[in-house]
Amino acid sequence: MKFLDLAKVHIRSGAGGAGCASFRREKYIEFGGPDGGDGGRGGDVWAEAVDGLNTLIDFRYQQHFFAKNGQPGMGKGRTGRDGEDIVLRVPAGTEILDEDQESVIADLTHVGERVLLARGGNGGWGNLRFKTSTNQAPRRANPGQEAVERTLWLRLKLIADVGLAGLPNAGKSTFLAATSNARPKIADYPFTTLHPNLGVVEVDGREFVVADIPGLIEGASEGRGLGDQFLGHVERCAVLLQLVDGTSEDVAGDFAVIDRELAAYSPVVADKPRVVAMSKVDALDDALRVERLAELEAAAGRAVYPLSAVSGEGVTEVLRAARAVIDRARPLKDVAEGEEDAPWTP
């Protein structure tokens, strides 16, 4: 399945049915009178977050969503049928934006959340509604309300606990493949990963979701390479796991590049808690490992974990460090999960 995180859709609610102006004409009925029914109500357009989706690819092949119109009223006091609603099924984590791509209409972060995007028009009244003691034969009937039509943008921000950040070929996809059941494409050339990948990682009996974000390069905030188009997916992460290639000649410079690009994209992303790891340490001798680890710690201003996804060295320690940050950032979520698993007590 292809990955798509931005889609433009055109929606229209159903128009209300017109009211009917008619009169009774039964045989042997001495006094007739109005009997026009009301028009049916137009269908609404809803958006709902559903389980099992992690891309907006469905909206590449269908961009127009029109709800059914209400049917007009009929004689003998019959009301027209209401139009059927239409529901846009989107993955959890989808933002719905107005046509300007800036005004946020809704942010569906949990499965089952629904939002009304366009309300259907009310049906018009038939002439039976206008009968009074002084107007026994009204010929007036209302038209139904018009439909609401609008253009919206859907923007998906993957919901993950950990976001992987780093230059191309820093070992992000290898790390994800080694720690989860995800199988991202891995090769020895830049930009092997062209779209984010998700994997469920387990450490010490606890599970959390890791997102592999395509590699940044210097100038990504200005549109170079893949640009910063995928950094929106780390906005919801509790912690950033920044990987720096230990085989690079300038590990401090590589760290600084990612640091600058995160800050240029958003101060919120740049200020997120961060765990820094130096990958591919299995390819370094002991002296070079110590030298580059010290250089990277000086540049990052924090402890750096040596890591080798191939040999497994340091993987558990990195996952435990990320898990600790998640526990501090999202304590309420963990308490709720623990209550579900706890046995019932009176």
In the predicted model, what is the mean pLDDT of residues 10-15?
A: 96
Res. 86 pLDDT band, cuts 50 70 90:
very high
pLDDT at position 145, please? 93
pTM: 0.71
Q: Same CATH topology for 1-156 and 162-341?
A: no
- The owner of tokens 């942010």 is 107
pLDDT at position 183, please? 61
Res. 340 pLDDT band, cuts 50 70 90:
very low
The DSSP string of 268-313 is HHHTS-EEEEEE-GGGS-HHHHHHHHHHHHHHHTS-EEE--TTT-T
pLDDT at residue 174 greater than cutoff 60: yes
Domain boundaries along the sequence of the chain: 1-156, 162-341
pLDDT at position 343, please? 45
| Cα 82 to the center of its chain, rounded Å | 31
**For 216-230, what is each residue's pLDDT tens digit?**
666 555 555 454 556
Spatial separation of the C-alpha atoms in residues 98 and 26, rounded to whole Å: 53
* CATH 3.30.750.24 fits domain 162-341: no
172-200 burial, b if ≥16 CB within 10 A, otherwise e?
bbbbbbbbbebebeeeeeeebbebbbbbe
pLDDT at position 90, please? 93
* CATH 3.40.50.720 fits domain 1-156: no
Res. 214 pLDDT band, cuts 50 70 90:
confident
Spatial separation of the C-alpha atoms in residues 115 and 178, rounded to whole Å: 39
Q: How many residues does the chain have?
A: 346
pLDDT at position 186, please? 57
pLDDT at residue 314 greater than cutoff 80: yes
Rg (CA), the chain: 29
